[in-house]
Amino acid sequence: MANSSPEDRESRLIIVIDGPAGAGKSTVASRLASRLEIPYLDTGAMYRAVGLLAIRDGLEPPLDEGASNRVVDLMNRHRIEVEAADGGTTILVDGRDVGEDIRTPECSLMASAVSALAEVRKALVPLQRELGLQNGGVMEGRDIGTVVFPDADLKVFLTASVDERARRRHVDLSERNLETSLEEVREQQQQRDLQDTSRAESPLQVARGSVVVDTTGLTLDEVVERLFEEVVRIR
């Protein structure tokens, strides 16, 4: 068998980053992917797209198990497409880019609610595996190191204090002209954390063998640098 080139080996590299909302995962994952010139896959965007469909269909959180069939039916009737590139993840619903629509606080809560439904995860996890296996990449979410790619080349768990995470999310929302108070952001984030860590299906946990980085007080560039060093070490 011919030796694979460094580019081939690099393109198959799978790096996973899990952690709670506001820990800096998206920024860190996309910057690291750009630096390594490998795809960046934001798996949360996929749950957000399903959340958007649920909102448009008139559903409201909390969802009971009875909502599951309705949500699965929505997933079957609509086309969700994901494209992972090193610059970012593009997500289309029925051919339309919903990148902005899925970033509202309302959609954050609904994404968290639909992500607790076993049938939703059963549909999205194989898709995430397929996307990762195609070209490798930096994959970010809640269960990537525990469920989707437990044998990833590098597993990272990013965290930060509740205050820091709320502050970051608040700045992020303000920059997109989605004005809410810091207190409201903090409350919603805590609600989402509780849902994401206490659900029966693939709750957010630190995957075995993860590098745990507390990003409180660090700039996101410092975090990228730290992870880049980890990648150099394992390559």
Q: Which residues bind ligand DC (CB under 6 A)?
A: 21, 43-44, 47-48, 108, 111-112, 115, 141-144, 192, 196
Residue 124 near residue 43 (C-beta atoms within 8 A): yes
Residue with tokens 């996973």: 16
Residue 116 or 229 having the CB closest to ligand DC? 116
Return the ∠ at Cα 197 (arms to 117 and 194), rounded to 5°. Answer: 95
| Least CB distance to ligand DC at residue 166 (A) | 13
| Least CB distance to ligand DC at residue 58 (A) | 20
14: three-class secondary structure by DSSP: strand
Residue 24 or 141 having the CB closest to ligand DC? 141
| Least CB distance to ligand DC at residue 86 (A) | 19
Residue 168 or 192 having the CB closest to ligand DC? 192
Residue 104 or 115 having the CB closest to ligand DC? 115
Backbone angles phi, psi at 131, to 5 degrees: -65, -40
Residue 45 near residue 89 (C-beta atoms within 8 A): yes
| Least CB distance to ligand DC at residue 48 (A) | 6
Give the helix ranges, DSSP H, for 116-178: 118-135, 162-175
Residue 37 or 62 having the CB closest to ligand DC? 62
Residue of 50, 49, 39 whose CA lies nearest to 16: 39
Amino acid (one-letter) located at 104: T
| Least CB distance to ligand DC at residue 9 (A) | 25
